[in-house]
Amino acid sequence: MRRIWLSGILLVLVLGAGFLFFTERPLAVTVVQPERDVALRIYGLGTVEARILSRVGFEVGAALISLTADAGDSVIRGQELAILHSAEQEARVARAHAAVAANMANLSKADAAVVRARAVLAERETANRRQQGLVQRDVASAQRAEEAQRDEDVARADLAVAEADLAVIRAQGLDTAAALRQEEALLAHHRLVAPYDALVVARHAEPGTVVKAGDPIFTLIDPATIWIQAYVDEERAGQLALGQSGAIRLRSQPSAEFHGSIARIGVESDRVNEERRVWLTCFDCPADMFLGEQAEVRILTGTRATALMVPEVAIAGFDGYRGTVWAVRDGRLARVELTFGARDDRGRVEVTGGLPKGAAIVAQLPKGAAEGRRARLKDVP
């Protein structure tokens, strides 16, 4: 009986020793070490886009006769891209030319009428002066003098009418010239030309199609304005600034890294996805870029000579500025509240304050961790 009792005590002691060994033995924990020359980068996902993109079409409607460009073609400013059926408009232009010619003929006739009226007036003025002199010498009757004065007044009125007719015809000439320019402008609208040196992205119609005014015929881009549009988490976007450099990776060339800088930061964030848009120009991207291709960017927002970078997953209750981490202090585990600053593209946050002297932050909490338990440090591999 005594032997059974002693065996039970021994078993309890062994179990207790085992429990103490597994619960009180120092845990080996991985801690965060200070780093030198830390690059702070922000990750963004986006696509290849063009700043200048135009969907060009005609300002009038008609049937397409021909198209001289296709997707993938490079065109220069002023190059003809497509032509509309224009016989009706050509007839209007011819009619406007005829109206201008008729006006010029009427103008010549009116000019001649004015010259004739001036000559008649000069003749009447001379005759009137002669008759008035004869009346004063009692050589001619007063009736003849009155008739001469009347003839001069009528001639002066005829000249005024002729000059007015000439002014009207000149005004009509301005109107017919303007009408001709209008018809010629409408005729020119039957030719579609490239508005700038461009690359044809898409062709939306074929010969024979009847198009309406404003229907897109081609999509053009300016190849010199291709850039990367990326979306950055709003929580990290506060570190962005114009001119910051960025590394760019295209989905079609995952092994290559290209370089650019921020050219524009969107003034409006996405209200649903809580992201901010940024645009990066690329310095050394391939000559052939494809719109809509997925691209990853890592924007350099700053560097630190030395920094303590903590994985975000190791921070509890993190609000973007404060949070609690596990730390080894005086050889035991403890929770410590810290303040944080900049983030990087590896999911880490910079510690800016709150870490007690001599304490080390636990990067990954092992099983069995509890506040006050003894811990043994090991560096991050």
Q: Indicate the range of 131-140, 214-223, 287-296 predicted with least confidence.
A: 131-140
* C-beta of residue 302 within 8 angstroms of C-beta of residue 38: no
**What proportion of the chain, given as a percentage, has pLDDT over 90?**
52
The pLDDT score that the predictor gives to residue 21 is: 45
Q: Return the higher-pLDDT residue of 8 and 267.
A: 267
CA–CA distance, 361 with 136 (Å, rounded to integer): 131
pLDDT in tens, 179-220: 999 999 999 999 999 999 999 999 999 999 999 999 999 999
* Exposed e or buried b per residue across 17-54, where buried means at least 16 C-beta atoms within 10 angstroms of its C-beta: eeeeeeeeeebebbbbeebeebebbbbbebebbbeeeb
Statement to judge: residues 165 and 214 lie in one domain: no
| Residue 263, strand partner residues | none
Number of domains in the chain: 4
The pLDDT score that the predictor gives to residue 187 is: 94
Q: Is residue 271 part of a domain?
A: yes
Q: Is the pLDDT of residue 113 over 60?
A: yes
Q: Once rounded to an integer, what is the mean pLDDT over residues 244-260?
A: 93
CA–CA distance, 23 with 127 (Å, rounded to integer): 141
Statement to judge: residues 74 and 33 lie in one domain: no
Q: Find the DSSP H helices in the chain.
A: 2-24, 87-136, 142-188, 234-237
| Residue 290, strand partner residues | none
Statement to judge: residues 328 and 242 lie in one domain: no
Confidence grade of residue 22 (pLDDT, cut at 50, 70, 90):
very low
For the domain that residue 80 is a member of, what is the CATH number? 2.40.50.100
For the domain that residue 371 is a member of, what is the CATH number? 2.40.420.20
Q: Is residue 4 part of a domain?
A: no
Q: Which residue has the tokens 């044809």?
A: 200
Q: Once rounded to an integer, what is the mean pLDDT over residues 325-352?
A: 88
pTM above 0.75, yes or no: no
The pLDDT score that the predictor gives to residue 127 is: 76
Q: Is residue 13 part of a domain?
A: no
pLDDT in tens, 151-174: 778 888 888 988 898 899 999 999
Statement to judge: residues 181 and 200 lie in one domain: no
Statement to judge: residues 214 and 253 lie in one domain: no
Tell me phi and psi for residue 367, to 5 degrees. -65, 145
Q: Once rounded to an integer, what is the mean pLDDT over residues 92-117?
A: 92
Statement to judge: residues 124 and 270 lie in one domain: no
CA–CA distance, 191 with 183 (Å, rounded to integer): 14
Provide the domain limits for residue 196: 53-84+190-221
Statement to judge: residues 167 and 292 lie in one domain: no
Q: Once rounded to an integer, what is the mean pLDDT over residues 108-126?
A: 86
For the domain that residue 239 is a member of, what is the CATH number? 2.40.30.170
